[in-house]
Amino acid sequence: MNMERRCILLIAPIALGLANWLPNQVAAADFGEAQVTQVVQDVKVVPAGAASRPAAVNETVTKGNAVQTGVQSRSELTFKDKTITRLGEKSIFNVGGDGRTIDMGSGQFLLYVPKRAGGAKVKMGAVTAAITGTTVLGQVYPSGIVEFTVLEGSACLSLDRVGQTLQVNAGQMIVYDPIAMRLENPVEVNLQEELNSPLVTGFRPLPSSGLINETIESQRAVVAPNSDLDRAVRAAGAANIATATPEQFMQGFNSVLVSYPPSQVRTLVAGAIRARPDLANQITAAAAQSRRVRYSGYGKDGKDFKEYKGKEIAAPECPPTNQFVQPFIITPLTPQFPPVVSPEQAPRSSRGG
């Protein structure tokens, strides 16, 4: 009896360790190789330390190799867990990043990660995106600029060097500017226009097409006849949304914006931009101002705040708006403030000479 108990006690920790270890090993291997599932024109496999060769449909590309597309060329790769990566023209994709990390060297890409598949990270130069059950479009320019759009789901983008993080939701795009060295605030986009990308139209339908269409329909419903926005714009004196003056439209939009639930503001903004792209900058600015007003303070009794811990406010891991402050760069000292000299150096005379 004692021997049986000892065996059970010894086996249990080992079994638990294997249970924790095996899924990680399987997940890490998921991105170790990919199958080429579509080739359009000039697509090549570039083995490590060897000459490139034309890619073939159904061939397997293993870790350490890259896939490169030429001018007006596209390709699709599918991983074991059904994650799909599509490459636009003049793109370089390195297969087999660390763990579940996808490395986009340059060019345009579409990435679909199935829900409950373990998520993925996308390395785009200085920017890393963490996604789970999401479909995204992205582009890495030779200049270092990164554009990243979420078609469905959400993503958390981080600029590791400075610790900046931002959440990007369905229907939003974010840009990284290497000169400013920061992620700009997410902006709403017209998802219907994003679906005109060759990475969508030039391939088989995505498994997430239904979810993307749901988001598009939500954007359309915002500006449909007799919607909240339509009634507000007509109350401002316009005949309809399309013919409203900028002043009439923004008056109606602002009146709806202040009463909309925070969870639906993104859909309202995206729908408004889709209906009036000429006012996109004003709509985005109004939404940003409304967001600052919503979160700039709390009720007198503090009941609105749920994350208070000790003396510090716990910031969310991936905030929806920029909380990053660009550090000041100290310029060289001006002549009015001469540099400090070492003790060994004789001070110069104020008369010159």
Using the 3D structure, point to which of 143, 167, 201 is the last residue of a domain: 201
Same domain flag for 149 and 269: no
Nearest-CA neighbor of 99 among 115, 85, 114, 79? Answer: 79
C-alpha 275/C-alpha 230 separation (Å) is 11
CATH, residue 33? 2.60.120.1440
What are the tens digits of pLDDT across the range 73-113?
Answer: 999 999 988 999 999 999 998 887 666 788 888 899 999 99
State how far the Cα of 264 lies from the Cα of 282, in Å rounded to an integer.
19
One domain for residues 33 and 172: yes
330 in any annotated domain: no
User: 285 in a domain, yes or no?
Assistant: yes
Highest mean pLDDT among 26-35, 55-64, 307-316: 55-64
| Same domain assignment for residues 140 and 273 | no
CA distance 148 to 270: 16
Q: Does 168 reside within a domain?
A: yes
Per the listing, tokens 């339509």 go with 230
**Predicted local distance difference test score (pLDDT) of residue 329:** 44
Nearest by Cα to 287 from 190, 187, 217, 218 = 187
Same domain, 192 and 236: no
pLDDT at site 60: 93
* Residue type, position 6, single letter: R
Range name among 12-21, 26-35, 37-46, 95-104 with the lowest pLDDT average: 12-21
Do residues 180 and 250 both lie within one domain? no
Same domain, yes or no, for 185 and 38? yes
What's the structural domain count of the chain?
2
Q: Is the pLDDT of residue 157 over 80?
A: yes
Q: What angle do CA 123, 287, 296 make, to 5 degrees?
A: 90
Q: What average pLDDT score do residues 199-218 get?
A: 91
For residue 295, pLDDT over 50 is answered with no
pLDDT for 269 equals 87
- Convert the pLDDT of each residue in 160-190 to its tens digit: 777 788 889 888 899 999 998 889 988 888 8
* 125: in domain: yes
Asked if residue 114 is part of any domain, the answer here is: yes
The whole-angstrom distance between residue 248's C-alpha and the CA centroid of its chain comes to: 33
In terms of domains, do 189 and 229 share one? no
Does pLDDT of 310 surpass 70? no
Q: Say if residue 100 is in the same domain as residue 158.
A: yes
Per DSSP bridges, beta strands 101-113 and 120-124 are: parallel
| Residue of 43, 31, 22 whose CA lies nearest to 83 | 31
Mean pLDDT of 138-163: 90
- Characterize 203-233 residue by residue with b for buried, 16 or more Cβ atoms within 10 angstroms of its Cβ, and e for exposed: beebebbebbeebbebbbebbeeebbbbebb
* In a shared domain, residues 37 and 168: yes
Domain of 81? 27-201
Residue 331 has pLDDT above 50, yes or no: no
pLDDT at residue 317, rounded to an integer = 63
Is 22 a domain residue?
A: no
User: Under DSSP, is residue 209 helix (H, G, I), strand (E, B) or coil?
Assistant: helix
